[in-house]
Amino acid sequence: MMEETWVVAVRSIIAFLTLIIYTRVLGKQQMGNLTYFDYINGITIGSIAGTFATDLSSKAWIHFVALTIFTIITIIFQFITLKNRTISKLMDSDPTLVIQNGKILEQNLHKMRVKFDELTMMLRQKDVFDITTLDYAILEPNGSLSVVLKPENQPVTAKDMHMHPPKSKLMTELIIDGVLIKQNLKERNKDINWLTEQLKKQNITVQDIAFAAILPNDKLYIDLFKDQFQEKTDMGDYKGPF
């Protein structure tokens, strides 16, 4: 019994490390952006890895070979779909127009096996509560919905107002769990003296800070380990012990 436990533990570690390496080789992609082929492919690779870790009735080498071959086939298909548009469309399908000029295209919707309440849910997720404000809605191959508002319903931009706002910046992490990230400080053209001066104003040290970041407007955001609240906000309505 103890011997089997150690075998499973070792095989699990090998399967885990192999999955990390192979998924890195296959490339980065968010779960929400996976096509049906990518989704099924991920389930299959995960299933092989799970069997690799726990199936003691067969040799680990067999599962490792299967996992490797399946990954190689996936990489080959990735290159083929990059070079051949026909095969790419066969594997990933085409975007489908489901709304045009505020009208639902029922035939296309039924073809994609999407119900009306599913469509309205996806519209709400896009902050669209009035279907007549849409010019187009497109169901993407990964199942997400893209929408185009009618010109009169589109938000006004700085370009429309002939304004020239400053160039956008990103928030830069500066301190995490009381540890200063000096490289990020340098990237924002700041130095230790600047940081020391900011901390002195609030009478705190780097070790007091759980998280700090330089905001896009160059101001310093600080969250302390010991936050002081006058009153805690309770989002729930359950008064039980948990």
Neighbours of 15 (CB within 10 A): 22
Architecture of domain 96-153 in CATH? 2-Layer Sandwich (3.30)
Residue 54 has which token pair?
A: 């726990």
Residue 184 has which token pair?
A: 């990020």
List the beta bridge partners of residue 104.
99
State pTM to two decimals. 0.54
Fold match flag (96-153 vs 172-224):
yes
Highest-scoring range by mean pLDDT, 42-46, 74-78, 84-88, 114-118: 114-118
Write down the pLDDT at residue 30.
47
Report CA-CA distances (Å) from 27 to 16, 18, 78, 102, 180: 17, 14, 10, 38, 31
15: confidence class by pLDDT, cuts 50, 70, 90: confident
Q: Which CATH number fits domain 172-224: 3.40.190.10, 3.30.240.20, 3.10.20.30, 3.20.20.370?
A: 3.30.240.20
Write down the pLDDT at residue 165.
75
Amino acid present at 46: G
Give residue limits of the domains in the chain: 1-89, 96-153, 172-224
CA distance linking residue 3 with residue 9, whole number of Å: 10
Percentage above 90 pLDDT, the chain: 29
CA distance linking residue 233 with residue 236, whole number of Å: 9
Give the pLDDT confidence of 145-199 residue by residue, as tens digits: 999 999 888 888 878 788 877 777 788 999 999 999 999 998 888 999 999 999 9
E runs forming strands in the chain: 96-100, 103-104, 134-139, 145-149, 172-176, 179-180, 209-214, 220-224
Give the pLDDT confidence of 51-108 residue by residue, as tens digits: 888 887 778 788 888 888 888 887 787 778 777 777 766 666 778 899 998 899 999 9
Mean pLDDT confidence for 30-42:
62
Q: Half-sphere exposure (CA, 13 Å, Cβ side) for 48? A: 19
- State the SS3 of 69-103: HHHHHHHHHHHHHHHCHHHHHHHHCCCEEEEECCE
Give the pLDDT confidence of 171-181 residue by residue, as tens digits: 899 999 999 99
